[in-house]
Amino acid sequence: EAGVTQFPSHSVIEKGQTVTLRCDPISGHDNLYWYRRVMGKEIKFLLHFVKESKQDESGMPNNRFLAERTGGTYSTLKVQPAELEDSGVYFCASSQLSASYGYTFGSGTRLTVV
């Protein structure tokens, strides 16, 4: 089966611009998660979708971040406007069951804001 796919793999944008990251989960996985690792620090939870609904968005840093999951399939994470501190690696993961059974992560999108 295909894994979790993220694109772009790298993105370099200027401060103030908008960037949209995309994640395609494993087919049939209702749970989709976004995480990020900023400046080599710990990996932090951003939000969790169950199908098209946001189950938990407690980790979203501020209102510059908007996540959607159209039709319960792929998800997008938009950053608008981007700031320097948004630089980091954004990971998407999906699972069929709960987090207690382990996730499958995508390869991540490395975002650099200059």
Partner 1 sequence: SQQGEEDPQALSIQEGENATMNCSYKTSINNLQWYRQNSGRGLVHLILIRSNEREKHSGRLRVTLDTSKKSSSLLITASRAADTASYFCATDGGATNKLIFGTGTLLAVQP
DSSP of 36-74, one letter per residue?
Answer: EE-TT--EEEEEEEETTEEEE-TT--STTEEEEEGGGS-
Q: Which of 55, 73, 80, 96 binds partner 1 (CB under 8 A)?
A: 55
**86: which DSSP letter?**
G
Interaction between residue 99 and partner 1 (CB under 8 A) = yes
Q: Which of 21, 79, 82, 93 binds partner 1 (CB under 8 A)?
A: 93
Interaction between residue 25 and partner 1 (CB under 8 A) = no
Interaction between residue 41 and partner 1 (CB under 8 A) = yes
Q: Are the C-beta atoms of 98 and 46 separated by less than 8 Å? A: no
Q: Compare residues 15 and 54 and give the one whose CB is closer to partner 1.
A: 54
Interaction between residue 98 and partner 1 (CB under 8 A) = yes
The residues, ordered by sequence, that sit 6+ positions from 75 with a Cβ below 8 Å of its Cβ are 22, 23, 25, 32, 34, 49, 67, 68, 69, 92
- Residues near partner 1 (CB under 8 A) are 4, 6, 31, 33, 35, 41-45, 48, 55-56, 59, 91, 93, 98-108, 110
